[in-house]
Amino acid sequence: MTLQQTSVIFFIGFLIFVGLVAFISGKLGNRTTSGSADVDYYLGGRSTPTVVLAFSYVTSSISAACFMGDPGIMSTVGWPYYWVVIAVIPGLIIPAVLLMPKMRMQAEKLGSLTIPEYLGDRYKSETLRLIIAGVISVFYIFPLVAQFKGAAVLLESFTGISFKAGLAIISVVIVFYVIVGGLKSVAWTDFVQGLPMLVISVVLVVLSLKAVGGFNGLEMKLAEINPDMLNIVQAEASDAQMSLSGVIGNFMFWCVIFISQPYLCSRFLAIPDIKRKTIGTFLITALILSSVYNSFYLCGLTGRVLFPDVPADYLTVTMAKEMLPTWAAALMMIGIFAAMMSTATSVLLVVGQAIGRDFYSKTINKNATPEQEVLVTRIAVIVIAAICFGFNFVNPPEFLSVVLYLGLSGIGSCIGVPLFSAIISQKSTKEGAIVSAIAGPVSYLVFNYGMAINYWFSCLLAILVSAIFMIGISTYINHSQKTQNGYKACVDPVK
CATH value at residue 56: 1.20.1730.10
pLDDT reported for residue 35: 55
Q: Assess if residue 38 is contained within a domain.
A: yes
What is the Cα–Cα distance from 3 to 271, expressed in whole angstroms? 41
Residue 261 phi/psi, 5-degree rounding, is: -65, 125
Predicted local distance difference test score (pLDDT) of residue 48 = 85
State the pLDDT at residue 118: 92
What is the residue range of 234's domain? 3-407
pLDDT for 245:
87
- Residue 419 domain-assigned (yes or no): no
CA distance 415 to 259: 10
Contact call for residues 342 and 193 (beta carbons, < 8 A): yes
DSSP assigned state of 239 = T
The CB-side HSE value for 72 (13 A sphere, CA atoms) comes to 21
Task: Compute the chain's Rg from CA coordinates.
Answer: 23
Number of neighbours of residue 308 by Cβ within 10 angstroms: 11
Name residue 243's beta-bridge partners.
Answer: 234
Is 473 part of a structural domain of the chain? Answer: no
* 3-class secondary structure, 366: coil
Per-residue confidence in pLDDT tens, the chain, 495 aa: 677 777 777 778 777 766 776 666 556 555 545 556 777 777 777 888 899 899 888 887 876 677 777 888 899 899 999 998 899 888 888 888 888 899 899 988 988 888 999 999 999 999 999 999 999 998 888 888 888 887 888 788 778 888 888 889 888 888 887 887 677 777 787 787 777 777 777 888 999 999 999 999 999 999 999 999 999 998 887 777 788 988 998 898 888 888 888 888 888 888 988 899 999 999 999 999 888 888 888 999 999 999 998 888 778 888 888 888 888 778 777 777 777 777 888 889 899 989 999 999 888 998 888 889 889 999 999 999 999 999 888 877 665 566 677 788 888 899 999 999 998 888 899 999 999 999 999 999 999 888 888 888 888 899 999 999 999 999 999 888 777 665 455 545 444
- What is the crossing angle of helices 326-353 and 163-211, to 10°? 120
In a domain, 467, yes or no: no
Q: How many residues does the chain have?
A: 495
The structure's pTM equals 0.83
The pLDDT value recorded for residue 175 is 87
Domain-located, residue 451: no
- The pLDDT of residue 211 is 93
**pLDDT value at residue 43:** 78
User: How many angstroms separate the Cα of 117 from the Cα of each of 60, 110, 179, 289, 357?
Assistant: 21, 9, 21, 30, 8
Give me the amino acid identity at 103: M
The reply to whether 495 falls in a domain is no
**Cα–Cα distance list, 146 to 115, 186, 331, 389, 406 (Å):** 23, 19, 22, 11, 10
pLDDT at 161: 84
DSSP-derived secondary structure letter, 453: -
Q: CA distances (Å), 417 to each of 354, 449, 475, in order? A: 19, 21, 15
Task: Kindly state whether residue 18 falls inside one of the protein's structural domains.
Answer: yes
Q: Which residues pair with 234 in a beta bridge?
A: 243
In angstroms, the CA 406 to CA 393 distance is 20
Question: Would you state the pLDDT for residue 494?
Answer: 42
Of 319, 67, 291, residue with least CA distance to 207: 319
Contact 36, 261 (CB under 8 A): no
Q: Is residue 482 part of a domain?
A: no
Residue 147: per-residue pLDDT: 82
Instruction: Count how many domains the chain has.
Output: 1
Contacts for 214 with CB less than 8 Å, ≥ 6 apart: none
Can you give the pLDDT at residue 13?
Answer: 77
Residues 224, 435 contacting (CB under 8 angstroms): no
Kindly give the interhelix angle for 276-293 and 163-211, rounded to the nearest 10 degrees.
Answer: 80
Asked whether the beta carbons of 47 and 277 are under 8 A apart, the reply is no
**What is residue 163's predicted lDDT score, i.e. its pLDDT?**
87
Cα 366 to Cα 357, 358, 363, 422: the distances in Å are 10, 10, 6, 25
CA separation for the pair 43, 260 (Å, rounded): 17
Helix (H, G, I), strand (E, B) or coil at 229: helix
Task: Quote the pLDDT of residue 495.
Answer: 41
- Listing DSSP states for 28-43 in one string gives HHHHHS-S-HHHHHHH
Residue 2 region by backbone torsions, left for phi larger than 0, else alpha for psi between -120 and 50, else beta: beta
CB-CB contact of 343 with 63 (8 Å): yes
Give the relative orientation of helices 262-270 and 400-424 as an angle to the nearest 10 degrees.
40
Convert 255-264 to b/e letters by CB count within 10 Å (16 or more is b): bbbbbbbbbb
